[in-house]
């Protein structure tokens, strides 16, 4: 199990709509990962199952999309992942041992957006 390295991706516009399914397709095409995940594909996610890294279903918490040909963190994608982590992972099957590192990764993007992660708010 592994939390991806923080990529410090540029942020898309805050009002950009988030459609995770459409973003997934664009990320696969951009990463040239239609036949299987690769490192570029991994960078769009916050967490993956390292033991199954050749399987698309091993990748969780997509936060990025392709904007003008480059990978960008999408604020609404970050917020969606943050809400999942705030709500006890809401169906995302991650080991408890990785939860704090996932939250730390997401908190860096919240800070970049000038906001606090839901779990940091009073």
The number of CA neighbours under 13 Å toward the Cβ of 91 is 3
pLDDT, one tens digit per residue, over 21-45 is: 999 999 999 999 999 999 999 999 9
CA 79 vs CA 41, 50, 52: distances in Å: 20, 24, 26
CB 107 within 8 A of CB 86: no
Cα distance between residue 26 and residue 52, in whole Å: 22
Query: Interhelix angle for 96-112 vs 75-86, to 10°?
Result: 140
The pLDDT value given to residue 42: 96
The total of other beta-carbon atoms located within 10 Å of residue 74's CB is 26
pLDDT, one tens digit per residue, over 85-121 is: 887 545 677 888 898 999 999 999 999 999 999 888 8
The pLDDT value given to residue 86: 81
- Per-domain residue ranges of the chain: 2-120
Q: Which pTM does this prediction carry? A: 0.92
pLDDT, one tens digit per residue, over 39-90 is: 999 999 999 999 999 999 999 999 999 999 999 999 999 999 998 888 754 5
The pLDDT value given to residue 88: 53
The pLDDT value given to residue 77: 96
The pLDDT value given to residue 91: 62
**CA dihedral over 3, 27, 60, 117, signed as positive or negative:** positive
């Amino acid at each position: 199990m592994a939390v991806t390295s923080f990529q410090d991706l540029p942020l898309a516009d805050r009002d950009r709509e988030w459609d995770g399914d459409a973003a997934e397709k664009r990320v696969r095409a951009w990463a040239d990962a239609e036949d299987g995940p690769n490192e570029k594909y991994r960078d769009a996610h916050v967490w993956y199952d390292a033991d199954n890294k050749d399987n698309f279903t091993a990748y969780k918490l997509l936060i990025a999309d392709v904007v003008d040909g480059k990978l960008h963190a999408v604020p609404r994608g970050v917020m969606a992942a943050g809400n999942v982590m705030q709500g006890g992972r809401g169906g995302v099957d991650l080991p408890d041992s990785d939860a704090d590192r996932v939250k730390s990764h997401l908190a860096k993007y919240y800070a970049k957006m000038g906001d606090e992660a839901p779990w940091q708010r009073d």
